[in-house]
């Protein structure tokens, strides 16, 4: 099965980029956007000078629990840069959301509780709220993580959006917010 089909079957439509968008990133932004693919996994990520953004991580159901996700995270951590990613809030009707959060918690990721992220999907026109998780080789600073999320949104998520979707995503400051007084940590309840 093609890497895009693997991702498309696993991730909700509102989170997926189009195949054309991702192929353009791999070709036109190959200096920063990468694919790590094996028979049982697909990892799509952007690596910039001061952080890594994990766009998609897929490990096939048959191979979960075999340490593939852990090995991929270790490979990223060896780069000694903060790692950021977006995850869905826990949906107790979808056990995968809780498993995903538990996995990242075991991997040492923290919840950037001061960062809000809500983007209108161009596929469904619904607002899609996500949580930002990060891992940092030093003590993470949420203001720096916020700046990395803003940069990722502008460089990756909205890259040629009108061309690929016939419409533009909202401006970054309507999607990504910073409120240092928010201390609700989604990882505490796991």
186 found inside a domain: no
183 found inside a domain: no
185 found inside a domain: no
11 found inside a domain: yes
190 found inside a domain: no
- Model confidence over 120-130: pLDDT tens digits? 998 888 898 99
40 found inside a domain: yes
Residue 183 has pLDDT above 70, yes or no: no
Range of the domain at 109: 3-178
For the purposes of burial, counting CB atoms within 10 Å of the CB of 148, is it exposed (0-12), middle (13-18) or buried (19 or more)? buried
Residue 100 has pLDDT above 90, yes or no: no
Dist CA 97 CA 101 (whole Å)? 6
- How many domains in the chain? 1
Dist CA 121 CA 147 (whole Å)? 22
pTM reported for the whole predicted model: 0.91
∠ CA 112-78-149, rounded to 5°: 30
More confident residue, 179 or 115: 115
184 found inside a domain: no
């Amino acid at each position: 099965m093609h890497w895009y089909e693997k991702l498309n079957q696993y991730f909700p439509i509102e989170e997926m980029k189009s195949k054309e968008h991702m192929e353009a990133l791999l070709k036109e932004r190959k200096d920063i956007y990468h694919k790590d693919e094996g028979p049982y996994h697909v990892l799509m990520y952007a690596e910039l000078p001061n952080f890594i953004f994990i766009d998609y991580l897929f490990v096939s159901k048959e191979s979960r629990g075999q340490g593939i996700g852990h090995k991929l995270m270790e490979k990223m951590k060896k780069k000694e840069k903060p790692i950021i990613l977006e995850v869905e809030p826990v949906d107790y009707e979808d056990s995968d959301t809780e498993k995903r959060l538990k996995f990242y918690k075991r991997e040492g990721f923290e919840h950037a509780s001061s960062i809000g992220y809500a983007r209108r999907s161009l596929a469904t026109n619904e607002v899609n709220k996500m949580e930002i998780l990060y891992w940092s080789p030093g003590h993470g600073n949420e203001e720096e993580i916020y700046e990395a999320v803003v940069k990722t949104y502008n460089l990756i998520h909205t890259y040629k959006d009108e061309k690929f979707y016939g419409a533009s995503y909202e401006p970054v400051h309507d999607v990504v917010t910073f409120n240092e007084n928010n201390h609700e940590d989604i990882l505490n309840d796991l």
